[in-house]
Amino acid sequence: MPTRLPTVACLIAFALAAACAADLDLVRDGAPVAEIVIPADAHESITMAAEELNLHLDLISGAKLPVVTQPTGDAPAVYLGAPDEAWAAAADAESLAFGGFVVECTDSRLVLAGSVPEGTLNAVYWLLEELGVRWYIPTDLGITVPELATVTVPVMNTRVEPTFLCRKNHGIDRSIRGHGNVWQRRVRITDHAINVPFNRYSHNLCNILPVAKYGETHPEYYPLINGERRVPELSYSWQPCTTNPEVVRLTIEAANDWWEKHPDANYFSVGMNDGRGWCQCDACTALDIPDYRFRGREVKSERYFTFVKQVAEAVQETHPDKWITCIAYSSVEPVPRGVELPGNVMVVITQDVGAWHDPEYRAEDEAIARAWTEAAGAFGVYNYTSQMWLLPRNFPRMMAESLRFYDDIGAVAMTNESWPTWWYAGPMMYVRAKLMWDPQQDVDAVLDDYYTGFFGPAREPMKRLYERFEETMMTEREGRWFYGIGSVPEQIALWTPRQLEESVADLAAASRLADAEPFNARVEFVAQGFALTEAILREYWQAADARDLATRPGVPTKRLIFRGGHAG
C-alpha cells in the first residue's frame, strides 16, 4: 500500500490555509465537502483526472468526492476543465503550451484546466504534489501521501507551463510493465500520443519504403552495396537510395497521407533507419565529403539532409504549419556543411551526457548542439541515461546541467532513452522528470526531496550512497559514446575497494535507522539490488588477484586457493 505520512510541512501549511476563510475545503474532518464536475462526454484524460484525484484524496483522508456532470449548487465545485467559454477566454487557456494548465481557487470553486485534456490531468497531478503526494518510483513502494483529515486548497490563480513541449521516455513503460506507464503519467512525462508536439522523429524510412511492398518491384529504392542492389531483410539496418527521385516522391506522399489521417500531429518523421547500410551509388556518394569521419563513423550528413531538404520544401507548400522531423544520429550527427535546411525542419540530436565528465567530449557535444540551433528550424535532444548497466549509473547533477544547457539554447523537445534499474536509477529518474518540466529548478532541492521522502530516517546514509554512485561516474577518463554498455569490466573499473566498503557500511547504517515501514522496505529494495554490485566487484577483484598471482614466477599452486574471500 502507498505510504501515508503526517508530514510536518504539510500539516503546517494546511493548518494555516484552513485558518483563512477564503480557502476551499475539499474534505473536512474525513468527510467530502466539494464535488468534482466533468463534462458529460468527458475525454478519457478528464475521466482519469477525476479518478486519480479521488484515489489520492481517499489515500490522504479516507474520503472521495462525488463526480457529477452538472454542479448541484449544494457544494463547492472542482471543475476539471474550463467551467465555461468566458472563463477560458479570461484565463487565456488557448495560449497555454501543450500540457500546461491554469489552477484557480476561490472560496466557492476550484478550476483545474488545460487547453487540452492532458493539461487538465497534469493540473490534477500538480495539485496533488502541492498537497504533499509524491511518486518517487513506480509501484506502491514509491508512493507517499500525507495523512490529513481536512484537505484544503489555498486561494490561488496559477499558470503552469512546461519548458519542453515533448518530455518523453523510452523504456520506463517496459521497465516495470504497467507500473512504469502509470508513474511517468503521474510525474507528467508525456506519452506517445499523436497529438503531443514533435512526438515522432526517429527511425521511419523503413516504414515509408516497406520491403514487403516495394522489395520485389522496385529494388532501386534500396541501397547499392558493392555493386549490387540489396533488398534488405525486414529490419532497420539499411538506408534507402536517397537520391532516387521516386524515393523522394514517395516520402512526400507519405507525409501528406500522414497528415490527412492525423491532422492533430504537427510532425512527420523522415528519421534515418537504425544502422548504416548506406547506398553506394554514384549519385549518393557524390554528395558525401570524402574521408569525413566523426567519432570514428563515416559522415553522411550531406546526402541525408539534401534528401530531408527536398521533402521539407515540398510539404512546406501544402502544410506550412507542419514540421518534417528527423534525428541527428550515428552517421548524420554533424550539421551538413553545404545544405541549408528550410525553417520547417525539426532535428533531434542524440547525445549521451553520461560522458560529459570529460570536458573535451562535453565541449564537442555542446558545440554540435549549438550548431543545430542555427541549422534547424527547431531542435530537440535524445539522451541516454541508465542504459541497463549492471552497476550503478548515476549522474543527476551532470544531467541537470545538460538540461539547463539545452533549455538555454532553445530546445523544444526532450527524450530520454532509459530502461531503468530502479534501485539505483530512482533518484536520477525522479530528478529528470522534474527538470524536463522546469530545468531551472535546484537539482539539490529535488534530490533532498527524494532522499527525505523516500528514505525518511535513513536519509543521510542513503544520500551518501547515491552520491558515491555519482562519484564513480565522474571518475576521470576519456569520454566515449555508450561507455560501459557492452563491457562490465569497464563499469567495474570505475570502482575502488574503498568505495565498495563504504557503500556496504552506509547500507548497514540505513537498515538500522529505517526500523519501520515503509522506509525499511525501501532500504531493503536498494540493498537487494546492490548485492549484485557487491558480488560482481568482489568476484572480479578476486579473479584479478588470482591472475596476478598465477603470472608470478615461483608462486605455489595452493596460494591460488581463496579463503574467506581473499587470496591465500
pLDDT tens, residue order, the chain (568 aa): 576 554 433 433 444 443 444 799 999 999 999 999 999 999 999 999 999 999 999 999 999 999 999 999 889 999 999 999 999 999 999 999 999 999 999 999 999 999 999 999 999 999 999 999 999 999 999 999 999 999 999 999 999 999 999 999 888 877 777 899 999 999 999 998 999 999 999 999 999 999 999 999 999 999 999 999 999 986 778 999 999 999 999 999 999 999 999 999 999 999 999 988 999 999 999 999 999 999 999 999 999 999 999 999 999 999 999 999 999 999 999 999 999 999 999 999 999 999 999 999 999 999 999 999 999 999 999 999 877 789 999 999 999 999 999 999 999 999 998 888 999 999 999 999 999 999 999 999 999 999 999 999 999 999 999 999 999 999 999 999 888 888 999 999 999 999 999 999 999 999 999 999 999 999 999 999 999 999 999 999 998 878 777 777 776 666 555 444 443 3
Cα–Cα distance measured from residue 147 to residue 248, given in angstroms and rounded to the nearest whole number: 61
Cα–Cα distance measured from residue 473 to residue 337, given in angstroms and rounded to the nearest whole number: 35
Q: What is the widest separation between alpha-carbon atoms in the chain?
A: 94
The DSSP line for 4-21 is: EE--HHHHHHHHHHHTST
Residue with the three cell numbers 507551463: 161
Angle between helices 396-408 and 359-375 (to 10 degrees): 30
CATH 3.30.379.10 is the classification of domain 3-161: yes
- The residues spanned by each domain of the chain are 3-161, 200-335
Nearest to 9 by CA among 129, 123, 114: 129
pLDDT at site 5: 53
Cα–Cα distance measured from residue 58 to residue 18, given in angstroms and rounded to the nearest whole number: 19
The DSSP line for 97-125 is: PTT-EEEEE-SSEEEEEESSHHHHHHHHH
Residue with the three cell numbers 464535488: 35
Contacts of 495 (CB under 8 A, 6+ apart): 391, 472, 537
Cα–Cα distance measured from residue 310 to residue 184, given in angstroms and rounded to the nearest whole number: 37
What is the distance, to the nearest Å, from the Cα of residue 205 to the centroid of all Cα atoms in its chain? Answer: 24
Q: Which residues pair with 537 in a beta bridge?
A: none
Regarding beta strands 345-351 and 323-328, do their DSSP bridges make them parallel or antiparallel, or are they unpaired? parallel
Cell of 97: 503550451
Are the C-beta atoms of residues 292 and 331 closer than 8 Å to each other?
no
Q: Does the global pTM surpass 0.75?
A: yes
pLDDT at site 389: 87
Cα–Cα distance measured from residue 396 to residue 183, given in angstroms and rounded to the nearest whole number: 19
Cα–Cα distance measured from residue 495 to residue 150, given in angstroms and rounded to the nearest whole number: 49
Are the C-beta atoms of residues 425 and 418 closer than 8 Å to each other?
yes
114: amino acid identity, one letter:
G
pLDDT at site 415: 93
Cα–Cα distance measured from residue 379 to residue 369, given in angstroms and rounded to the nearest whole number: 9
Regarding beta strands 228-229 and 31-32, do their DSSP bridges make them parallel or antiparallel, or are they unpaired? unpaired
- On the CB side of 317, how many CA atoms lie within 13 Å of its CA? 7
| DSSP secondary structure code for residue 442 in this structure | -
Nearest to 180 by CA among 130, 142, 125: 142
| DSSP secondary structure code for residue 278 in this structure | -
Cell of 217: 518491384
pLDDT at site 387: 72
- How far, in Å, are 34, 149, 567 from residue 31 at the CA level? 10, 8, 67
Residue with the three cell numbers 529548478: 441
pLDDT at site 477: 95
pLDDT at site 549: 75
Q: Which helix (H) or strand (E) holds 546?
A: helix 519-550
pLDDT at site 388: 75
User: Helices (DSSP H) in 382-487: which residue ranges?
Assistant: 396-408, 422-437, 443-455, 459-473
Contacts of 201 (CB under 8 A, 6+ apart): 267, 269, 271, 325, 326, 327, 346, 347, 348, 380, 413
Q: Which residues pair with 159 in a beta bridge?
A: 102
End-to-end CA distance of the chain: 49
Contacts of 51 (CB under 8 A, 6+ apart): none
- How far, in Å, are 265, 316, 335, 428 from residue 134 at the CA level? 32, 44, 41, 15
